[in-house]
Amino acid sequence: MKLKLWQIDAFAEKPLEGNPAAVVPLETWLDADLMQRIADENQVAETAFFVKEAPGRYRLRWFTPTVEVALCGHATLASSWLIFSELAPELQAIAFETKSGTLHVKRGEDGRHLISLPSDFVKPYEAASDFAARVGQALHTTAPVSIFKGRNLLAVFENAKAVRAIPGAGDIKSLLEPELGLIATAPGDDGFDFISRYFAPHHGIPEDPVTGSAHCALTPYWSKRLDKKTLRARQVSPRGGNLVCTDDGARTTLSGACALYLKGEIAI
């Protein structure tokens, strides 16, 4: 069997920036174990598979190298870029049916499409009194000033320097429950409203370059804190990426560019 595959850098102005996603359009679903093995072979943060159900409507699933996940923003953006650019250029909007409900993407200007995702409202995380200090030690930086929990842990640091100084995932895996990743965030610098990084070692992603789903928590948090509806964000991973985030209450709207890195064919 041969399948077409595109690798697309999401939230990127040009190739080799942002977050790479492999995208595999299907006529019919493959066995989940086979899709997982393809994702492991690809060794990017997410591999997206989708099947067309009707004009402008697709069923979409995402796999990291180790697990299927319920929500992935950057691979959704990459999938929409492929559909808008090459597979169905007549479309102005796409609806993806996913494990997180229906995700809508609208065609934007200059390839900066707008994706609507369910917001993630975080609450203070109840943990041992030394937990914040242990997080700082595990990440080899200063301790966060507060920690919240939603679909991930959200560690808020005093300044951008503390987040930028993190050398990598460090020993954070031992502090996280198996279903959780950790978002490190701080007030922005260089003209951005906030910055962030994301670590998900339990999902086979020591550090994710640019994480759409994490901004579903970051956007409502910073929108309330800064009293701004639309914010400019930068994920300061080694690759890095820029996002424009809008707090729409129950939904978070993200926009960003994509860049094609490769397209080809896989044989399985």
Tell me the pLDDT tens digit for each residue of 126-151.
Answer: 999 999 999 999 999 999 999 999 99
Q: What is the DSSP string of 179-198?
A: T--EEEEEE--TT-SEEEEE
Neighbouring C-beta atoms of residue 34, cutoff 10 Å: 12
Among 105-109, 142-146, 258-262, which is the least confidently predicted range?
A: 105-109
Q: What is the pLDDT of residue 110?
A: 81
Q: What is the pLDDT of residue 153?
A: 98
| Mean of pLDDT values over 34-58 | 97
Q: Are 106 and 237 in contact (CB under 8 A)?
A: no
Among 81-85, 118-122, 201-205, which is the least confidently predicted range?
A: 201-205
Give me the CATH topology for the region 2-117+254-267: Diaminopimelate Epimerase; Chain A, domain 1 (3.10.310)
For residue 25, list its beta bridge partners. 50
Domain boundaries, the chain: 2-117+254-267, 123-249
Tell me the pLDDT tens digit for each residue of 111-124.
Answer: 899 999 999 999 99
| Mean of pLDDT values over 164-189 | 95
User: For 123-249, which CATH superfamily applies?
Assistant: Diaminopimelate Epimerase; Chain A, domain 1 (3.10.310.10)
Which of these is catalytic: 46, 90, 126, 207?
46
Catalytic (active site) residue 46: yes
Domain 2-117+254-267 shares a fold with domain 123-249 = yes
Percent of the chain at pLDDT above 70?
A: 100
Residue 161: what residue type?
K
Q: What is the pTM of this model?
A: 0.91
| Mean of pLDDT values over 187-216 | 96
Question: What's the chain's average pLDDT?
Answer: 96
What sign for the dihedral angle of Cα 188, 192, 193, 198?
negative
- Cα(160)–Cα(162) distance, rounded to whole angstroms? 5
